[in-house]
Amino acid sequence: MLTQDKSSREAVITVLLLLSMSTLILDSHGEYVIKVSTGTASVNLSGDLVQAVPNSAANNTADPFQSFPPIRFHLENQNASILSPLVDSAIRKLSPGATTKGVTMDAKSNSTRIHYDLTFQINGLGSAHGIAEFTDLAWRSFVIQDDFKVNNQTVNGALADYLGKIISFYARAPEATAPPLVQRRTWYWNDQRIEQNEVVPTITGVMLLNFTGLSKPLETWTATIDPQHMLYKYRASTGFNLTRINAVIEPEGTTNLAQNVVHKVDATIEVPWEATPSGNGVITDNGWGASLMLTIIVSSGLILAGSFVFERRLRRPRNQIKDRRINK
């Protein structure tokens, strides 16, 4: 009987934790803004890797796994030579005709947050499709798979580099402890529970500059209208989060302690008013369509006017003959 009660209580705790994880409170997220012109685009990407994000499973509190080291660097022009080829290669894998320029990156940190800003321009995205122009946006889900370091500081591989060892240490701890202090430890990746032996393999090789979650067709993104700037905006989100919940079970009740690390990016693609989403890009009238329609309208009007004048000229002799007969 006691065993059944214990099992039932553990099952309830697990369900409650899963429900709590689905309402994880995020106090910070990145912005990935793509501004599209016909055949070109500008990218402004701002992201954060954050620890100790308030968690509803632990009364909106959380602790870091370990402090981040101090990070500060700026990459631009010649200093960006370590990053520019990586960005260009990642973009070209998805959009072979694209070329990137003006790659810049800033990074800084405190004990619980690593912040980065990445900007660049992309050309060579346009191709003619009949009377319209297709702008290729397949590159939006680009991935920089290699870590890169500046003065031995890293952003892309920060999860494994700075937190990998301590996370591995926690993942080797017993999943549960016996009385007098009963604890149950559970892990979640992207709000889904995972086993402790899956934690290290899951975070190994995870890079921040990985936007594969944005590969879904643009038609499935959330669309809004910006009439002031005559734009359509398409929105989606990507990223990851890792959370460890340590439930301390006492006769008086259960206390949940949380540790987590979160990287969440909200993407927005801004396209001209007249552009239409199509799979991995947008289609825009390149000018010929409007000209053709105008020509058709004008031509139709001229033909109609000509027919009217011709018909009146035909009727005029007939009316004159009819009038002569009446007069006689």
pLDDT at 90 (0 to 100) = 98
Instruction: Give residue-wise pLDDT tens across range 266-284.
Output: 999 999 988 999 889 999 8
Instruction: Give residue-wise pLDDT tens across range 133-156.
Output: 999 999 999 999 999 999 999 999
Report, as an integer, the average pLDDT of 184-197: 96
pLDDT at 18 (0 to 100) = 43
Instruction: Give residue-wise pLDDT tens across range 105-117.
Output: 999 999 999 999 9
Identify the residue with better confidence: 80 or 316: 80
Using a cut of 0.85, tell me whether the model's pTM lies above it: no
- The pLDDT-based confidence of 228 (bands split at 50, 70, 90) is very high
pLDDT at 168 (0 to 100) = 97
The pLDDT of residue 292 is above 80 = no
pLDDT at 313 (0 to 100) = 56
pLDDT at 328 (0 to 100) = 52
Report, as an integer, the average pLDDT of 120-133: 90
pLDDT at 112 (0 to 100) = 97
pLDDT at 288 (0 to 100) = 46
Instruction: Give residue-wise pLDDT tens across range 243-252.
Output: 999 999 998 8
pLDDT at 152 (0 to 100) = 94
Identify the residue with better confidence: 38 or 327: 38
pLDDT at 52 (0 to 100) = 96
- The pLDDT-based confidence of 312 (bands split at 50, 70, 90) is low
The distance between the two most distant Cα atoms of the chain, rounded to a whole number of Å, is 130
pLDDT at 289 (0 to 100) = 42
Alpha carbons 18 and 103: distance in angstroms, whole number: 41
Residues forming a β-bridge with 310: none
Report, as an integer, the average pLDDT of 193-222: 96
Burial letters 93-114, b for 16+ CB under 10 A, else e:
ebbeebebeebbbbbbbeebbb
Average of per-residue pLDDT values in the chain: 85
Instruction: Give residue-wise pLDDT tens across range 1-47.
Output: 434 444 444 444 444 444 344 434 444 579 999 999 989 999 999 99
pLDDT at 287 (0 to 100) = 53
pLDDT at 315 (0 to 100) = 57
pLDDT at 181 (0 to 100) = 87
The pLDDT of residue 293 is above 50 = no
pLDDT at 132 (0 to 100) = 86
The pLDDT of residue 91 is above 90 = yes
- The pLDDT-based confidence of 198 (bands split at 50, 70, 90) is very high
Alpha carbons 128 and 282: distance in angstroms, whole number: 12
